[in-house]
Amino acid sequence: MSKSAFQELLANTRRLTVLTGAGVSAESGIPTFRGAGGLWRTYQATELSSPQTWNRDPGLLWEFYNYWRGSMRDKKPNPAHYALAEIEKRFRKDNRLFHLITQNIDDLHLEAGSQSVTRMHGSLWLLRCCQCSLVTKNQDIPITPAFEGSGSPDPKAKQSKFSKEDLPKCYCGGILRPHVVWFGESLALEDMEKSHEASRECDLFLVVGTSALVYPAAGLSTIAKRSGAKVVVVNLEPTATDEVSDFNFPGKAGEILPDLLMVN
Ligand SMILES: [Zn+2]
């Protein structure tokens, strides 16, 4: 598929669904802590962001998230985020349907102006009460005064000890955790349903900044494809065109999307 063939397809699309992954965040300089080198101190992020670590040492987990949130402070949406926000605006204006599904937890799509968004893996800026399940927005850095200056990713950093009193608390007195889907946890049912519906009902499914071959992108791409949508991938690593995707534009999303979507 050439760029102009894609643009013709886009012009005739009644319902566009976009799925974004870590590559889009990486272009804004966000540490993703996934894959090779995804270490914080000597911990694998997979091992840290888990219910097991939370149950064993919630202070350690908050130290890691406190660092992660802090490292977001100076990060801004990139041209890929803005291009997706702009194409949504144009679709709305034409009474066409648009939905964005993201695996990223940094909320940069919202900051760029995207409106119809499913955050499959939650958000770094939402907290959930372990007692009453209330979800609240929270952008405090440090998360509580006790975490001031803590969280250095240096493997030689001294690990602080945090007590229950140091952890963020809900109005009900329960302890607050990041509202993020950790490894080994399931996605929220309503997010899963919305993602499935958006994948099933679209006629163009655009995968950005993630391989269409890896879960959960693979599952949603397959749903879209089987329902008759064209599946197009924009990702650094070229994806083989196969039963999951129809075409790919290899490269950086921030460089490709504005031009491809004709919003520059
Ligand atoms: Zn509560």
Dist. CA 135 → ligand 1 center (Å):
9
pLDDT averaged over every residue in the chain: 91
Dist. CA 137 → ligand 1 center (Å):
13
243 is written with which tokens?
């039963």
> Which domain, by its residues, includes 245?
1-29+77-121+187-264
Res 27 pLDDT > 90: yes
Dist. CA 63 → ligand 1 center (Å):
21
Number of domains into which the chain is organized: 2
State the pLDDT confidence band at 158, using cuts at 50, 70 and 90.
confident
Of these ranges, 3-12, 31-40, 157-166, the one predicted with the greatest mean pLDDT is 3-12
pLDDT at 33: 67
Q: Is the dihedral of CA 109, 115, 117, 123 positive or negative?
A: positive
Res 35 pLDDT > 60: no
Strand locations in the chain, DSSP E? 15-20, 39-40, 43-44, 97-102, 117-119, 122-129, 135-137, 176-180, 204-208, 230-235, 247-250
**Same-domain status, 41 and 160:** yes
| Run of H or E including 200 | helix 189-201
Rounded distance between C-alpha atoms, residue 142 and residue 131, angstroms: 22
163 is written with which tokens?
């007590």
State the pLDDT confidence band at 240, using cuts at 50, 70 and 90.
low
What is the mean predicted confidence (pLDDT) over 19-34?
Answer: 86
Dist. CA 172 → ligand 1 center (Å):
4
What is the mean predicted confidence (pLDDT) over 44-61?
Answer: 90
**Same-domain status, 67 and 85:** no
Q: What is the pTM of this model?
A: 0.94
More confident residue, 147 or 153: 147
**Same-domain status, 24 and 36:** no
Dist. CA 68 → ligand 1 center (Å):
24
* 99 catalytically annotated: no
CA distance between the termini of the chain: 21
Catalytic residue among 99, 109, 121, 179, which? 121
Dist. CA 126 → ligand 1 center (Å):
13
Percentage of the chain lying above the pLDDT 90 cut: 74
**Same-domain status, 255 and 228:** yes
- Domain CATH number, residue 214: 3.40.50.1220
- Domain CATH number, residue 169: 3.30.1600.10
Tell me the helices (H) and strands (E) count for the chain, helix number first.
10, 11
What is the mean predicted confidence (pLDDT) over 150-161?
Answer: 81
Of these ranges, 58-67, 108-117, 146-155, 228-237, the one predicted with the greatest mean pLDDT is 108-117
- Of the listed ranges 21-25, 91-95, 150-154, 241-245, the one predicted with least confidence: 241-245
CA nearest to 103, candidates 89, 116, 120: 120
Alpha-carbon Rg of the chain, whole angstroms? 19
**Same-domain status, 173 and 88:** no
Strand partners, 127: 136, 178
**Same-domain status, 1 and 127:** no
